Amino acid sequence: MAIRFEILGRSSENNARIGRVQTPHGVFDTPAFMPVATAAAMKGLTPEQVKSTGSQILLNNTLHCMLRPGSERIAAFGSSHTFMRWHGPILTDSGGFQAFSMADLRTLDDDGVTFRSFVDGALVRMTPEISMRAQNQIGADIIMAFDDCPPAAADVPQQRVEQAVQRSVAWLQRCKVAHTDTQRQSLFGIVQGGTDCALRKQSVEQTCAIELPGYAIGGVAVGESANAIADVVQFTTPLLPVDRPRYLMGVGYPRDIVMAVAAGVDMFDCVLPTRNGRNALAFTRAGPLRLRNARWALDQNPIESDCDCSTCANGLSRGYLRHLFSAGEMLGPTLVSLHNLRLYQRLMLDIRRAIVCNAWSSLRSDWPCLSAADPEPNGEESE
């Protein structure tokens, strides 16, 4: 296997565990949060700035990279690591979610999906083999199987969810055959099944019957309530192999991350820190701040007084940040995105400490936002 996963400790209070994943491009600690650099770029941030937040691994989106600049062009530079000058680990999603979410632009069959490119309107075909070839060219350390990801179960017939389970395992088998760079890249399978526990169990059994370095829970954060997400995660996670990394795709609110870690999940990604940062919403321990609000105009405090991100540590005030957004200055999105990424990595550090020290209950007192309402729904959509 191209990666090596070791569990370093477990909580005595729940199923949470800490670990370490060794990849060809370095190590990342788990539980891990992966910022989303969709098209081989983190919007408004340099790789050095992202690294300064404590982020150890990034996510690239295969479909976006395939359409622009093109996976062949990235391969000409060696890999996405050298192309974007990020020298740590990278994970690529398969592009499946983005392809299937273009409901008004695509046609789906048992072989794959055809859709119109958002770049130039050309028809694009995506299959397990095409996804694997593109991910091999992008060169990420961890690559994801091409799966069938339908919308939230409440919005689709049961037959469609059952079909997604069957397609996903059939496509996983094709992905494993098509994956040609097993010495450099590790392929993860994806469990589907909507909110139906029987289908989730079936999908776990079929997916995990295929020997792989890791497994993911997909098909959540596509419109379900927070309670429905928790039900799926808490049911599915313990069914996954104990000795492999467990990845929950697209779930990213602090409350949901803590819930999933307690269930035994090791890896997360979401666009929320940076997408919200670009829209003047700052995450804090106590809950989100909407920095465009007039109430912050004369506020001389940083976003969060105890935060060590470069934005807060340099004393940049809420009032100044509000001014940047009001004036349309590009610096505002950069500074708040930096803070948000650091906030997420601080949360992951505290989660790891709570596991080691068996102090899980202290997280809720230290992080009041875990009980706060979300500013918007979870979502896997790209940046």
- Whether residue 322 lies inside any domain: the answer is yes
Beta-sheet strand order (sheet of 4-10): 4-10, 17-23, 26-30
Give tens-digit pLDDT for 189-203. 999 999 999 999 999
Residues 355 and 308 in one domain: yes
Range(s) of the domain holding residue 333: 277-371
Confidence at residue 225, expressed as pLDDT on a 0 to 100 scale: 87
- Tell me phi and psi for residue 245, to 5 degrees: -60, 140
Residues 362 and 243 in one domain: no
Give tens-digit pLDDT for 165-180. 999 999 999 999 999 8
Q: Which of 93, 148, 256, 266 is catalytic?
A: 93
Q: Which of 141, 148, 256, 269 is catalytic?
A: 269
Residues 19 and 76 in one domain: yes
Q: How confident is the model at residue 376 (pLDDT cuts 50, 70, 90)?
A: low
Output DSSP code: residue 369. G
Cα dist. 358→56, 90, 115, 244, 352 in Å?
24, 30, 49, 22, 10
Residues 147 and 220 in one domain: yes
Residues 167 and 259 in one domain: yes
Number of domains within the chain: 2
List alpha helices for 292-382, DSSP H.
310-313, 318-326, 331-356, 362-366
* Average pLDDT across the chain, whole number: 94
- Tell me phi and psi for residue 4, to 5 degrees: -130, 125
Residue 380 in this model has a pLDDT that exceeds 70: no
- Whether residue 52 lies inside any domain: the answer is yes
- Whether residue 378 lies inside any domain: the answer is no
- Whether residue 382 lies inside any domain: the answer is no
243 is catalytic: no
C-alpha 212, offset from chain centre:
19
Contacts of 82 (CB under 8 A, 6+ apart): none
As a whole number, mean pLDDT of residues 346-350 equals 98
141 is catalytic: no
**φ/ψ bin of 135: left (φ > 0), alpha (ψ from -120 to 50), beta (otherwise):** alpha
User: Sign of torsion, CA 192 198 201 205?
Assistant: negative
Residue 379 in this model has a pLDDT that exceeds 70: no
For residue 307, the SS3 value is coil
The domain boundary residue, chosen from 270, 302, 322: 270
Confidence at residue 195, expressed as pLDDT on a 0 to 100 scale: 93
Q: Which amino acid is at 279?
A: N
- Whether residue 383 lies inside any domain: the answer is no
Give tens-digit pLDDT for 233-287. 999 999 999 999 999 999 999 999 999 999 999 999 999 999 999 999 999 999 9
- Whether residue 344 lies inside any domain: the answer is yes
Residues 366 and 330 in one domain: yes
Q: How confident is the model at residue 383 (pLDDT cuts 50, 70, 90)?
A: low
The domain boundary residue, chosen from 241, 270, 299: 270
Residues 190 and 120 in one domain: yes
CATH of residue 215 = 3.20.20.105
Give tens-digit pLDDT for 98-118. 777 765 667 889 999 998 888
Residues 160 and 29 in one domain: yes
Q: How confident is the model at residue 223 (pLDDT cuts 50, 70, 90)?
A: confident
Residues 173 and 289 in one domain: no
- Whether residue 366 lies inside any domain: the answer is yes
Residues 42 and 64 in one domain: yes
Residues 124 and 40 in one domain: yes
The domain boundary residue, chosen from 253, 270, 287: 270
- Whether residue 381 lies inside any domain: the answer is no
Confidence at residue 151, expressed as pLDDT on a 0 to 100 scale: 78
Residues 258 and 296 in one domain: no
Q: Which of 34-38, 49-53, 105-109 has the weakest average pLDDT? A: 105-109
Output DSSP code: residue 110. S
Q: What is the DSSP string of 231-299?
A: HHHHHHGGGS-TTS-EEETT---HHHHHHHHHHT--EEEESHHHHHHTTTEE--TT--EETTSGGGTT-
